[in-house]
Structure formats: structure tokens, C-alpha cells
Amino acid sequence: MGPAVPGAASAASSPTAVRRRRAGRRLTAAALLCAALTALHDHVPNTVGNLGSLFQTLLPWTGLSVPVLLALAAVRRSRTAAVAALAPAVVWGALFGGALTDKRSGGGDLTVVSHNVDEANPDPVRTARVLADADADVLALEELPARAAEVYERELAADYPHHEVRGGVGLWSKHPLREVEEVPIMPWTRAVRATAQTPEGPVAVYAAHLASVRVHPAAGFTADRRNEAARALAAAVRAEPLPRVVVLGDFNGTAQDGALAPVTSQLRSAQREAGDGFGFTWPAAFPVVRIDDVYVKGMTPLSSWTLPATGSDHLPVAASLRL
């Protein structure tokens, strides 16, 4: 055994070294906790303030924990913490790595657009023209105020000869709309269903606006009414007799939110299968979540994208579908 290095033992046990090791252990524990929470996100309970749903709504942003943990590990000069930071990176990549690739392709038999036009929208004329420029076959509009409905009807009439407005939701279509009916997901009208008679055959089209959610310090994530509306919409979709279904709308929740599973488990997300990036839609000025979406059954999504801002606080979403 070689001679002891003078001062090595005292340096290793110095207050600075001890604090560094403790900080490294805390960072390692934090990294493993982040990885576990992200991997097991659907097991985070909703019993207290719907925290599970809130966490799942913001789930893509858990990736930000990785650079933060790496930076802190570098500051503390902890190799163990730096290695541990790879755990949440691996989990995040497994969940969301596919969103970073462009899965869009050309073609399609039916193009659809959904937009929460915003009841307080100061310029519905401009909004209607942006939507018309998208040249979709079917438009679904949510949060449609009665005072502006005639503006959209007038501005969209040339391109969309068929339309139905029920309460705060409306459908505009280049193809005839048949069997139009309200879907009772809430005490007042927030959803409508119609059969679009496309050249390739009938398609059941749903336009829905689930109840709004809020985050309150005392109440937490107030999503109970939204969850009830989701269950009602899911029941309608489950009973739908047509094999081809598209559900458009403002869901006030993301595809990752397990509380919306009654709807999303029956359908396929156009953005997940045929999008590029996360396709965040709200708030329009700096989108951080995708609460507006296109879900389908019996059809293949070929492309999914967002449209430019319109004056609403949401961005419109679009998808091209093969029937």
C-alpha cells in the first residue's frame, strides 16, 4: 500500500465536500423521482384537486427537467447526479420522441378543421377568412357567440353551402349534412353530430366543446364538469352506427390526460399519427398545450397541422384523412 496523500482525507471530509455529496444525492433522488413520475403518469391520483390530470396535461414539459438537472449536477460537480439525469431523458424520449419527427404525408379524401373561435374574438371576419383559406371540406367551430354566428355564415357561405349551428357549436361543410342533432354532453348545447355525405360515403362528424377547466390554489384543477362531459361524449361515440367517425373540438384537455380516456381510447389522434411536433394550440400567443384536436375512427390520418392565429385565443387545428 502506498503512502497516504497528505491532506486527501481532510479534503474529502471537508464541509464543502460533504455538502457537495449531499447535494449530489438530492439531485440523484430528484432525477429518479422525475423519471418515475413521468413513466407512471397515469398512476398519479386525481383524488386531491385532480392533480393527476393537471400533471398529464403538462406532461410534455417534464422534458425541461433534464437540462435543469444536468446544469445543477454540473454546478455541484456530481457525476452521479449527471448520470441520473439521463433517466428522465430516456423516459421522456420513449413517451414523446416520436412527436419530434415529421409524420405528415400528402393526399387524403377529406380535410377537416376545428377552431374555438373565442366568444370575445374582436375580428370574426378575419377569423372566418383564415378558415376559408384553409380550403377544408368540413369546419367545426366552437365557442361561437350568437351575435357573431351570422358573420361566419355570411363569410363562409361562398365556400360552404351546407352548415348547421346549434348553441355555441357549428358545422360548415362542402358536402351535404344529414341527420344533424345535438349531443347532450352538458345542460346547454356544447356538441353536435351530423352525417357528412362525402363522395366516398357517409362520415359521422362530431363537433364538441367540453367544459372549461381552471387551476385554483384551493380547489386545484377544476375538471369534474369536463370529465362528465367527456363521458357523455364517449357514450355517444360508442353508440355511433357509422363505421367512419371524426370527432373535432376543444376538449379542454390533452390526449395524455387519462380523464379523457373514455373518448380517446375509442379513437385515433390525427396529431399523434400524422403530425409534426406537439401541435400546441393554447394560448395562441404562446401555445403550451394541445387542447384542440382531431380524433378519428375507421379512417387513416395522413397529415395534421395548426393554422395561423386568427384573433382567437386558440389556434385552429387541421387534418387530412384517407377514407
- Of 100, 120, 141, which closes a domain? 100
Which pLDDT tens digit goes with each residue over 247-278? Answer: 999 999 999 999 999 999 999 999 999 999 99
2 belongs to a structural domain: no
Instruction: Identify whether residues 73 and 127 lie together within a single domain.
Output: no
pLDDT surpasses 60 at 283: yes
Instruction: Identify whether residues 92 and 117 lie together within a single domain.
Output: no
Helix (H, G, I), strand (E, B) or coil at 297: strand
**pLDDT computed for residue 19 by the predictor:** 77
Cα torsion 231, 232, 234, 235 to 10°: value is 120
Q: How many domains does the chain have?
A: 2
154 belongs to a structural domain: yes
Does the pTM surpass 0.85? The reply is yes
Instruction: Identify whether residues 155 and 68 lie together within a single domain.
Output: no
Task: Name every residue whose Cβ is closer than 8 Å to that of residue 147 and which is 6 or more positions away in sequence.
Answer: none
Query: In the chain, pLDDT over 70 holds for what percent of residues?
Result: 96
267 belongs to a structural domain: yes
Instruction: Identify whether residues 91 and 125 lie together within a single domain.
Output: no
292 belongs to a structural domain: yes
Crossing angle of the two packed helices 86-96 and 15-39, in degrees rounded to 10: 20
3 belongs to a structural domain: no
Instruction: Identify whether residues 72 and 119 lie together within a single domain.
Output: no
Grid coordinates given for 139 = 369546419
- Distance from C-alpha of 268 to C-alpha of 272, rounded to nearest angstrom: 8
Average pLDDT of the residues of the chain: 94
Instruction: Identify whether residues 249 and 128 lie together within a single domain.
Output: yes
**pLDDT computed for residue 4 by the predictor:** 55
**Beta bridge partner(s), residue 169:** 166
**pLDDT computed for residue 23 by the predictor:** 84
Instruction: Identify whether residues 45 and 67 lie together within a single domain.
Output: yes
**pLDDT computed for residue 6 by the predictor:** 54
55 belongs to a structural domain: yes
- Of 56, 81, 100, which closes a domain? 100
Instruction: Identify whether residues 87 and 114 lie together within a single domain.
Output: no
Q: By residue range, what is the domain housing residue 27?
A: 8-100
Instruction: Identify whether residues 172 and 312 lie together within a single domain.
Output: yes
260 belongs to a structural domain: yes
pLDDT surpasses 80 at 231: yes
Which pLDDT tens digit goes with each residue over 73-128? Answer: 999 889 999 999 999 999 999 999 999 999 999 999 999 999 999 999 999 999 99
pLDDT surpasses 70 at 72: yes
What is the CATH number for 186?
3.60.10.10
- Of 100, 118, 150, which closes a domain? 100
105 belongs to a structural domain: no
